[in-house]
Amino acid sequence: MGNRMLHHLEIYVSDLEKSVEFWGWLLTELGYEQYQKWESGISWKHQETYLVFVQADERFLDVPYHRCRVGLNHLAFHAKSREHVDEMTEALIEKGIPILYQNKHPYAGGNEYYAVYFEDPDRIKVELVAPSIKEGNF
Specify the pLDDT at position 99. 96
Specify the pLDDT at position 2. 58
In a domain, residue 135? The reply is: yes
The torsion region of residue 7 among left (phi > 0), alpha (psi -120 to 50) and beta comes to alpha
Whether residues 95 and 134 fall in one domain: yes
Q: What is the pTM of this model?
A: 0.88
Whether residues 1 and 51 fall in one domain: yes
19: DSSP letter: H
Per-residue pLDDT of the chain in tens (138 residues, 90 and over written 9): 556 789 999 999 999 999 999 999 999 999 999 999 999 999 999 999 999 999 999 999 998 889 898 889 999 999 999 999 999 999 999 999 999 999 999 999 888 899 999 999 999 999 999 987 655 544
Q: Report the alpha-carbon distance of residue 63 to residue 60 in Å, rounded.
A: 7
Q: Which of 128, 117, 112, 42 is nearest to 78 (CA)?
A: 128
Specify the pLDDT at position 111. 83
Q: Report the alpha-carbon distance of residue 123 to residue 65 in Å, rounded.
A: 7
Specify the pLDDT at position 5. 86
Residues 92 and 116: beta-carbon distance below 8 Å:
yes
Q: CATH number of the domain that 36 lies in?
A: 3.10.180.10
Which residue range(s) make up the domain with 126?
A: 73-138
Specify the pLDDT at position 133. 62
Specify the pLDDT at position 50. 96
Whether residues 77 and 124 fall in one domain: yes
